[in-house]
């Protein structure tokens, strides 16, 4: 049993921590205010290999492995959730193309995603009428001559307007359920691909969330990712890794909340002493710390299994469920510790509170995670 970081992992953490401190954290408040996509920050992440942590070197990646990836995510997320989720999705897309794509697809997409030449990758699964019920997706892929033609709409697509390439899931055959779904690589600028509404979100506002419309969007055979009809399997494999990413994002959020609350508790005086002297406050901090450490360990466990090439679906779901729900508790406590100051934007905790809320919703709601876990239990 070994909880230590390898040299590579330690190096990735050091890099991520430095970028988080010097580049990401100072811009978090402004990013939330303006909602502007932080292109320059993304380029900085690209320069130090953080956009393709688990992608092979020959494809431009850092090849540092899933454990290094979650560790890096924790650092970036503690500085800014919006940058972290952008980084997470781009990593996930690069990894899925490296794993399931042809050499041509991988060579075209992965280095550009890794370097931020393409500012992002996107993952287009959800639709207005199909979120948790993913196989109910209605976007169609019809064969016309030697092309595939996509028609439909995707919702909640992170970085959809910034992405150089979007992985799009569409129905190429009637089904039932997961059968007959194919994944396609659609590049920005493809005729028939339209970026729709730019969502105004409660939090992670510097992350771009858009709807996408496909109107007779024609793409060649070479755009099929993996096998025709095997798209859902690809989505599920990608989401396993994606869940470790969100678990690590939530873990970073808990740490940020704890650090902020601890600092405030030391500074703020009431009844003649720092409020950090009162047990009620101390106990809140203790609980946040315990939750943080549990979330971190659950995330590392899932990532370590992935790195060892072992099945990790249940562990990834558990990590995502636990960390995201612990994150809700932590940010709420952090606001509480700040009293009234927790409700105004002079302090960062109200932003953490808003940023954290989505963590139990995306990449599989908590309900979906519970279904996944229960299914494994009751097998």
Q: Considering only residues 91, 262, 328, 359, which one is a binding residue for another protein as defined by CB under 8 A?
A: 262
- Give which of 263, 253, 260, 265 is closest to 292, Cα–Cα: 253
- Cα 6 from chain centre: 24
Q: Are 362 and 159 in contact (CB under 8 A)?
A: no
Number of residues near another protein (by CB under 8 A): 44
Binding of residue 54 to another protein (CB under 8 A): no
Q: Using the rule CB under 8 A, is 2 a contact of another protein?
A: yes
Considering only 18, 138, 173, 286, the residue that binds another protein (CB under 8 A) is: 286
Cβ(68)–Cβ(48) under 8 Å?
A: no
Q: At what angle do helices 349-356 and 313-337 cross, to 10 degrees?
A: 150
Q: Does 3 bind another protein (CB under 8 A)?
A: yes
Q: Which two tokens stand for residue 158?
A: 């992170």
Nearer to another protein, 21 or 266 (CB): 266
Q: Exactly one of 7, 145, 200, 378 binds another protein (CB under 8 A); which one? A: 378
- The reply on whether position 282 binds another protein by CB under 8 A is yes
Minimum distance, C-beta of residue 178 to another protein, in the bound complex (Å): 20
Q: Which of 75, 95, 350, 363 is catalytic?
A: 363
Q: Is 363 a catalytic residue?
A: yes
Instruction: Output the six-digit token pair for 336.
Output: 């509480």
Burial 7-36 (b: 16+ CB within 10 A, else e): eebeebbebbbebbeebbbebbeebbeebe
Among 294, 329, 347, 357, binds another protein (CB under 8 A): 294
Q: Residue 10 interacts with another protein (CB under 8 A)?
A: no
Largest separation between any pair of C-alpha atoms in the chain: 80
**DSSP letter, residue 230:** B
Q: Give the CA count within 13 Å in the CB-facing half-sphere of 148.
A: 26
Q: Is 298 in the site for another protein (CB under 8 A)?
A: yes
Residue (162 or 262) nearer to another protein, CB = 262
The torsion of the CA quartet 185, 190, 193, 198, rounded to 10 degrees, works out to 90
**The one among 19, 67, 137, 334 contacting another protein by CB under 8 A:** 67
| Closest approach of another protein to the CB of residue 161, in Å | 36
Site membership for another protein, residue 11 (CB under 8 A): no
Question: Residue 12: which of 79, 85, 66 has the closest Cα?
Answer: 66
Active site residues: 363
Binding site for another protein (CB under 8 A): 1-6, 9, 67, 258, 262, 265-266, 276, 279, 282-283, 285-287, 289-290, 293-295, 297-298, 300-301, 303-304, 307-308, 315, 318, 321-322, 367, 369-371, 373-374, 377-378
């Amino acid at each position: 049993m070994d909880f230590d970081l390898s040299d590579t992992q330690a190096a990735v953490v050091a890099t991520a921590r430095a970028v988080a401190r010097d580049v990401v954290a100072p811009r978090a408040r402004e990013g939330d205010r303006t909602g502007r996509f932080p292109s320059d920050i993304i380029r900085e992440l690209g320069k130090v290999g953080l956009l393709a942590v688990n992608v092979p070197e020959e494809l431009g990646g850092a090849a540092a492995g899933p454990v290094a990836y979650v560790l890096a995510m924790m650092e970036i997320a503690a500085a800014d959730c919006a940058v972290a989720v952008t980084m997470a999705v781009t990593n996930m897309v690069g990894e899925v193309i490296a794993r399931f794509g042809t050499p041509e697809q991988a060579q075209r997409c992965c280095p550009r995603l890794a370097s931020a030449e393409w500012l992002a990758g996107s993952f287009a699964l959800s639709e207005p009428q199909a979120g948790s019920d993913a196989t109910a997706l209605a976007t169609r892929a019809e064969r016309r001559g030697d092309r595939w033609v996509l028609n439909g709409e995707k919702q909640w697509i992170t970085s959809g307007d910034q992405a150089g390439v979007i992985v799009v899931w569409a129905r190429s055959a009637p089904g039932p359920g997961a059968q007959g779904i194919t994944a396609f690589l659609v590049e920005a600028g493809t005729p028939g691909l339209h970026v729709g509404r730019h969502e105004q979100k409660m939090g992670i506002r510097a992350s771009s969330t858009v709807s996408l419309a496909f109107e007779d969007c024609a793409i060649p055979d070479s755009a099929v990712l993996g096998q025709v009809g095997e798209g859902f399997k690809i989505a599920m494999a990608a989401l396993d890794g994606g869940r470790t990413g969100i678990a690590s994002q939530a873990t970073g959020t808990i740490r940020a909340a704890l650090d902020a609350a601890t600092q405030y508790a030391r500074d703020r005086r009431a009844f003649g002493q720092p409020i950090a002297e009162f047990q009620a406050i101390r106990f809140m901090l203790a609980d946040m710390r315990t939750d943080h450490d549990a979330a971190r360990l659950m995330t590392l466990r899932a990532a370590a299994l992935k790195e060892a090439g072992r099945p990790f679906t249940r562990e990834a779901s558990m990590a995502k469920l636990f960390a995201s729900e612990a994150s809700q508790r932590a940010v709420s406590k952090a606001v509480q510790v700040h009293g009234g100051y927790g409700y105004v934007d002079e302090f960062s905790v109200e932003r953490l509170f808003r940023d954290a809320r989505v963590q139990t919703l995306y990449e599989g709601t908590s309900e979906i995670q519970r279904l996944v876990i229960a299914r494994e239990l009751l097998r």
